[in-house]
Structure 1
Amino acid sequence: MAAAPSDQVTACVLLIGDEILSGRTKDANLSYIARHLGEIGVQVREARVIPDVEEVIVATLNEVRAKYDYVFTTGGIGPTHDDITADCVAKAFGVEIGYHPEAMEILTAHYKETGNEFTEARKRMARIPEGASLIPNPVSKAPGFQMGNVFVMAGIPMIMQVMMDGLAGRLKGGRKMLARTVSCEMGEGQLAEGLRALQDAHPAVSIGSYPFFFEKRYGTSIVMRSVEEEELALVVEEVRALMLGLGAAPVEGEVRGGPSAKEGAQAGAS
């Protein structure tokens, strides 16, 4: 498992599925995972959408599990032929895969209770890499699993969320990322030079500029993020001073309706 710098804990999210890349399915998982992890002090540093292609999944898993403390995957653990995530995880870790006794027991009881046939296709959902531990699924019962620092979850948002919620005892967080936002009715182009200087002077604080356009009002929200509370507070005051010095009135937080997509604001803001 990769070592996080100082006391920061990092993560990568892999969204697996051709349906996301084709546009057929709109991802609703990344934001939930990132928010959930942020609350416990795990910082999502990277997210990728990758296809249902074995060599891509295996290579990506091996790359990111060595780079980050945790890896979370969604998708590809259902009963159909293109659900290959479990097999790919087994291959990435160099272990065998087979029917997990507890998973088989859970699914056997579930299909008996529902009166549905426990078909060979459905049994695929009980195939778990050797050495992995199960992630409970109170919704549809088919479990996810943890292999090392990799957590494999369903792609269906409702199911992914209950799986994610059930991981609280397994995840160790670091220092929480703090965030502050200051907005003003001024184009980001006017703030850009001053913001660059502030970013160079305060590398421990991430400074992001996000234009908004709302009810014929345009402006910029500056979002500052850091694990260093005192440094963050200092940058907030310096951003406020920058806005005031340029003739804009700083407002704590975001303007209602913003920030929005850059193209909506750049028509008149930059």
Structure 2
Amino acid sequence: MSLFSDNIRALRVRHNISQEKVATSLMITRGRYVKYEDGTSEAPYEILKKIAQYYQMSIDLLLSVDIRKIDVNELLKLENNRLVLPIQVDQMGENCIEVVTQKVKAGYLNGYADPEYIEQLQQISLPFLGVGKYRGFPVEGDSMPPHQNGDIIVGRYVEQLGEILGGRTYIIITRTEGMVYKRLNTNKQNTLTVSSDNYFYPPYEVKASDILEIWEYQCSIARSDKKTEELESTTIKNMFVELKKDILEVKKNIGLST
């Protein structure tokens, strides 16, 4: 049996529903549904979608997380009561902010929807942020000054792509690029154009179908007290150094003396 088969069986038993009733709700025969539950047949996308809607559970959770090991009350409820995001709360019942450190960053793509993985993350509390689900992510590279390696960007979870705004910065989790922190230029129907604040790096497009999560910038936790002007100066200096290298390379290729 597959994890999906185990999950839909566990959900049906948990809700004390018969196989016949589930099959009727899905507008299929009981015999067809039984094959999905015992793992002898794989459910097509349309049936997956109907089952997810029936139990108000995301397809991602049905396919990748063992529902038997978690309490759905500890998952964040999104639009239409859809359950998708594991959350942690403190003793006062307030949402904790999980911090994805550099050490565990590599595992986030596999564990972002796994409550056991989320539970192991370090946690902090920032009461001034108010209502919402927040998470901290590490900065890597020099593409978004004044943020530097080792800084933590705290973002608010964005439920729908339509909520994101041009000019704002976001942590974007994608299947191909992994975790990136960028500024949104344009938000088209199926594509986002994002850019770095360090103009040395060119803008690029992100397909909406490739996006797993988006977190809108709320605040940062930084170790450096360098002025933005200093960082910009360093960035400009680096750009001229790279430009000089490129010019020397071009001259070398065309046989000109330097």
TM-score (norm 2): 0.27
Q: Which has the higher contact order (CA 8 A, sep 6+)?
A: 1
TM-score (norm 1): 0.26
